[in-house]
Homo-oligomer: A and B are copies of this chain.
Amino acid sequence: MKIYRRTLLISLFFTGLVGCQSIQLEEPNIKITKQLQQSALASPLAYDLVESLTVEVGPRLAGSNKDLLAVRWAENKLIKLGFDKVYKEAVQVPVWSRGEARAEVISPFSQPLVITALGGSIATPKEGLRAPIIRFDTLESLKRANRSDVEGKIVFIDHITERHKTGKGYGKTVGGRSRGAISASQKGAKAIVIRSIGTDHDRMAHTGMMRYKDGVAKIPAAAMSNPDADLINLILKRDPNVVLDLFMSSQSHGFATSYNVIAEVTGNSKPDEIVLIGAHLDSWDEGTGAIDDGAGVAIVTAAGKLIQDLPQKPARTVRVVLFAAEEVGLVGGKAYAKAHKNELEKHYIAAESDFGAGRIYQIDYRVNESALEAIHAVSSPMVGNGVKLGSNTASGGPDVSMLPKQGVPVASLRQDGHDYFDYHHTPNDTLDKIDPMALQQNVAAYAQFAYLMAQSEVELRPITTGANLKPVIIEAK
């Protein structure tokens, strides 16, 4: 009751500040968002969904048989949940298999290492390869190195990922994973083995996508666990000449068809306008894809179901999109943007849940700067669920990150990610890492968000960038 009164006061305050916009945070909206929260916090649906997906499907690497099984799983679930519409859209996705990855220090001491192939990597020669390693603190220091120092060696990027609630440590180190092979190859390296982009001390390597570049020779790329990277440092302290044996049999297999799976709650008065809440259905192959991104699938599906079950649907259509092949290059997200190009102007806002199941503590937007306070006023009932109203610097999440360039406003519902990168992209991404109560809080936040956005009368466009607040220019396609 206290919260209810406070949110009303906040609304009135914001209404005063931005009187030029019609905010329409009417009492029924507040009541309904409160009910959505209560329903979400009492419902086992999201946990049941992520349990079902991880147990009955499990690992579902894009383009694999299990990926198609996940698509069928999603269609069946969404139909069974009674969404107004359920359909899928074909996406061509790259197919890659991990194979085996083994590494061993053979000099000055013999030490087997725990490694894993980075996604998209080529294999080593069948007999493996042997070379001395050369260590770099960061990708940047590799870029500054002399070719003569790197040539013929295995590059070891030793960049430690820092733990932060926001997960911002990942952004600082992930370049070494995604682009390290290009830089290493440009300097003549035979292979690259990075310190895992992860905050844990488990002897598990973190996989994740890497890229090659046309005109630059492809070299094998792997990650070693953090304890293994520590070990290499201690060996280097004793002898700078560390020789590694590396064997990898990962392989690319062309393309296959996968699907974005979509469910909708048809809007009551503006059915052609879309509020998109998404997650990605694919996962890496070593865990069961619980936090990445079974949790997101469960959160947005359960949130959509709560809207579906309302006695009166909100004005706009709420569209739940379960994207294909996020891990291997945001493939489903890009395909969606292309397939829905002509409809993007009707997308009121989009947000993706793809950061595990940690509690949401803040919502950031990316809207026209002058609309920020008004949309904050609209969002104010979310405060009662522990969600602060934040900045105008959202990216929206990986699969919708290309939409702002096309004029679509986005929101980022920021989750507590302090342990997300302990498990991310490892065999440790399993159901036990999800806190059911935190998952429910996420469902409440997404349900409230979707409902409030579907009812909002605030004009969010043209969106402005976070940095300089200039309007984003919509690219001509």
A contact residues vs B (CB 8 Å cutoff):
51, 54-59, 66, 109-112, 114, 201-204, 226-227, 230-231, 234-235, 238, 287-288, 426-428, 430-433
Q: Would A428 and B202 be within 8 Å (CB), given that A55-B109, A55-B235, A110-B66 are in contact?
A: yes
Q: Pull 11 A–B residue pairs with CB atoms less than 8 Å apart, ordered by A.
A: A55-B111, A55-B234, A55-B235, A55-B238, A57-B109, A58-B111, A201-B430, A202-B202, A203-B287, A230-B431, A231-B430
Q: Give A144 Cβ to nearest chain B Cβ, in Å.
A: 29
**Contact status B59-A112, CB under 8 Å:** yes
**Contact status A231-B201, CB under 8 Å:** no
**CB neighbours of A59 from chain B (8 A):** 112
**Contact status A433-B238, CB under 8 Å:** no
Q: Give A204 Cβ to nearest chain B Cβ, in Å.
A: 7
The 5 A-B residue pairs with the shortest CB-CB distance, nearest first, are A227-B430, A203-B427, A55-B234, A58-B111, A201-B432
Q: How far is B231's CA from A431's CA once the two chains are assembled, in angstroms?
A: 8
**Contact status A432-B227, CB under 8 Å:** yes
**Contact status B109-A431, CB under 8 Å:** no
Q: Give A371 Cβ to nearest chain B Cβ, in Å.
A: 44
**Contact status A51-B431, CB under 8 Å:** no
Q: How far is B431's CA from A56's CA once the two chains are assembled, in angstroms?
A: 37
Q: How far is B449's CA from A259's CA once the two chains are assembled, in angstroms?
A: 68
Q: How far is B109's CA from A287's CA once the two chains are assembled, in angstroms?
A: 15
**CB neighbours of A66 from chain B (8 A):** 110
Copies of the protein in its oligomer: 2
Q: How far is B53's CA from A238's CA once the two chains are assembled, in angstroms?
A: 13
Q: How far is B59's CA from A402's CA once the two chains are assembled, in angstroms?
A: 48
Choice from B56, B109, B201, B226 contacting A56 with Cβ under 8 Å: B109
Q: How far is B56's CA from A427's CA once the two chains are assembled, in angstroms?
A: 28
Q: Would A109 and B58 be within 8 Å (CB), given that A288-B231, A427-B203 are in contact?
A: yes
Q: Give A322 Cβ to nearest chain B Cβ, in Å.
A: 19
Q: How far is B66's CA from A431's CA once the two chains are assembled, in angstroms?
A: 37
**Contact status A58-B110, CB under 8 Å:** yes
Q: How far is B112's CA from A58's CA once the two chains are assembled, in angstroms?
A: 9
**Contact status B110-A230, CB under 8 Å:** no
Q: How far is B55's CA from A57's CA once the two chains are assembled, in angstroms?
A: 40
Q: How far is B289's CA from A111's CA once the two chains are assembled, in angstroms?
A: 12
**CB neighbours of A231 from chain B (8 A):** 54-55, 288, 430-431
Q: How far is B200's CA from A202's CA once the two chains are assembled, in angstroms?
A: 11
Q: Give A336 Cβ to nearest chain B Cβ, in Å.
A: 29
Q: Would A203 and B109 be within 8 Å (CB), given that A55-B238, A234-B51 are in contact?
A: no
Q: Give A431 Cβ to nearest chain B Cβ, in Å.
A: 7
Q: How far is B114's CA from A58's CA once the two chains are assembled, in angstroms?
A: 13
**Contact status B431-A227, CB under 8 Å:** yes
Q: Give A397 Cβ to nearest chain B Cβ, in Å.
A: 26
**CB neighbours of A234 from chain B (8 A):** 51, 55, 431
**CB neighbours of A428 from chain B (8 A):** 202-203, 227
Q: Give A251 Cβ to nearest chain B Cβ, in Å.
A: 18
**CB neighbours of A110 from chain B (8 A):** 58, 66
Q: How far is B230's CA from A51's CA once the two chains are assembled, in angstroms?
A: 11
Q: How far is B431's CA from A109's CA once the two chains are assembled, in angstroms?
A: 16
**CB neighbours of A58 from chain B (8 A):** 109-112
**CB neighbours of A288 from chain B (8 A):** 111, 231
Q: A58's closest neighbor in chain B, by CB?
A: B111
Q: A422's closest neighbor in chain B, by CB?
A: B202
**CB neighbours of A226 from chain B (8 A):** 432
Q: A227's closest neighbor in chain B, by CB?
A: B430
Q: Give A111 Cβ to nearest chain B Cβ, in Å.
A: 5
**CB neighbours of A203 from chain B (8 A):** 204, 287, 426-428, 430
Q: Give A16 Cβ to nearest chain B Cβ, in Å.
A: 50
Q: How far is B59's CA from A230's CA once the two chains are assembled, in angstroms?
A: 16
Q: How far is B288's CA from A427's CA once the two chains are assembled, in angstroms?
A: 20
**CB neighbours of A235 from chain B (8 A):** 55
Q: A200's closest neighbor in chain B, by CB?
A: B202
Q: Give A337 Cβ to nearest chain B Cβ, in Å.
A: 33
Given known contacts A57-B109, A230-B431, what 11 new A-B pairs fall within 8 Å (CB)?
A55-B111, A56-B238, A58-B109, A111-B288, A201-B432, A203-B204, A203-B426, A204-B204, A227-B431, A230-B432, A231-B430
Q: How far is B72's CA from A19's CA once the two chains are assembled, in angstroms?
A: 82
**CB neighbours of A204 from chain B (8 A):** 202-204
**CB neighbours of A114 from chain B (8 A):** 427
